[in-house]
Every structure is written in structure tokens, then in C-alpha cells.
Amino acid sequence: MTELRSQSDNTPAKILEAAYSLFSTQGYAGTSMRQIAKQSGFALGSIYNHFASKEDIFVAIIHERHPLVQLFPWFAKIEATTMDEFARIGASGMVKELETNPEFLNLLLIEMIEFKGKHAGSLLSKVQPDIVALSAKFNNFGKQIKPISPVLLIRVFVGTLISYFFTEMLLSDYINPEIKSNSLDTFIDVFLNGIKNDSNFRYTEGK
């Protein structure tokens, strides 16, 4: 967490860094407090002086490094005058961030699979100001988009990009390179225009 990193005693930050590395590679259940202590270089008792449990450590990490926490503030600051422009800037930025830090998705999967979304409420509370700012940005696009809930629009947008990244990782070795080079553009076209065959849909795969 940012406030921990600013303390003169950076022990908590070092503990979080060690745990983050272990959780990302071994999962939550596969990581013990003793492993965190060894990785961080602190005695087990010192760990408990700062965090009451392993779950407390995980919560501190996701509040700092969960993909939503990392990306939502950036989405809210995108300078764009059209929904099309926003979607393409946001998509390229998010995919680049996930490619640079693929461990972000490991945290997402741990929260979804091992905790079954237990900490979703606290995460949403943390990014609530950014959701409000992003919703206002979508409202500014006016009649460019359908009159649907901005929160629903955010869910669809983020879900589209995460599904793109997951399928890209899983199928990368099996996709025709020519098609692969245009696949993100096509994902965004589908997000913006749907899959119906009309004049507004720019199909780019294979071209």
C-alpha cells in the first residue's frame, strides 16, 4: 500500500513484495507464512507484528496491485472526445499493462478461484471514485452510445479486454499471425458495434 511504502520502517513493504512474488507464482494456498518470512528475510514473529494473518497480507496486496486498482485510475484520466477513441486508447493501454505485468492476472484468479470474490466489496470501495469519474466520462459521450448504465458499460469494456488477453495467452501459438495482428482491433470493433452485419462495423481480421 502507498502509505506503507512511505513509512521510515519499510518492513511491511518488503513483506508485501515477498508475498506478492510467492502468491503470483505459487498461489495463495500454496504459500505459507514461513515461506513469506524466508523470502522477505524477516523472522516469522516480525511478520505477525505487521500482519495478523496471511489473508491480511493478501488483502493489502490486492488493494495495491489488483488490476482494477492499477487500471481504473488510468482509464478515468484518458483524454478522448469520442467513445471510439476512448475504447482504442484504453484497450491498447490495458493490454500493454497486462503484457508487462502478467502477474496482475494471477491476483485476479486467486481472488476469483481461491477466495470466490470474497474481497470484491472492499476492492470496489477502493476504486469507487475512479468508477464515478469514468462514468462521468461515458456520460459526456452523450448520444454516441446507447442509454445504458455506465457501470454496465464499464463491466462490458473491462470484461472484453480481459477475455481478449486470456484467449490471446491460451491460443497465441495456434492463431494465424495475420489474424492475430488485428485481433485487438476486432475485439474493440465488436465492443463498439456488436456482431451484426451493418455499415458501422469495421471487420479487420485477415486484411
C-alpha–C-alpha distance, residues 184 and 168, integer Å: 9
Question: What pLDDT score does 45 carry?
Answer: 93
Residues 34-69 pLDDT 10s: 999 999 999 999 999 999 999 999 999 999 888 888
Residues 77-117 pLDDT 10s: 888 999 999 999 999 888 888 888 888 888 888 999 999 99
Helices (DSSP H) in the chain: which residue ranges? 2-5, 11-26, 33-40, 44-50, 54-65, 67-76, 83-100, 103-109, 120-140, 150-171, 177-180, 183-193
What secondary structure letter does DSSP report for 172?
G
pLDDT at 7 over 80: no
C-alpha–C-alpha distance, residues 164 and 182, integer Å: 12
pLDDT at 205 over 60: no
| CA-wise closest residue to 184 among 160, 153, 200 | 160
What secondary structure letter does DSSP report for 63?
H
For residue 71, give every residue at least 6 positions away whose Cβ sits within 8 Å of its Cβ, in sequence order, or none: 93, 94, 97, 158
pTM, entire model: 0.77
Question: What pLDDT score does 4 carry?
Answer: 35
Are the C-beta atoms of 48 and 42 separated by less than 8 Å? no
Are the C-beta atoms of 14 and 60 separated by less than 8 Å? no
**Grid cell listed for 174:** 495456434
In the chain the domains, ranked by start, together with CATH numbers, are 2-62 (1.10.10.60), 66-193 (1.10.357)
User: How is 139-161 classified by DSSP, letter by letter?
Assistant: HHTGGGS-S--HHHHHHHHHHHH
C-alpha–C-alpha distance, residues 61 and 64, integer Å: 5
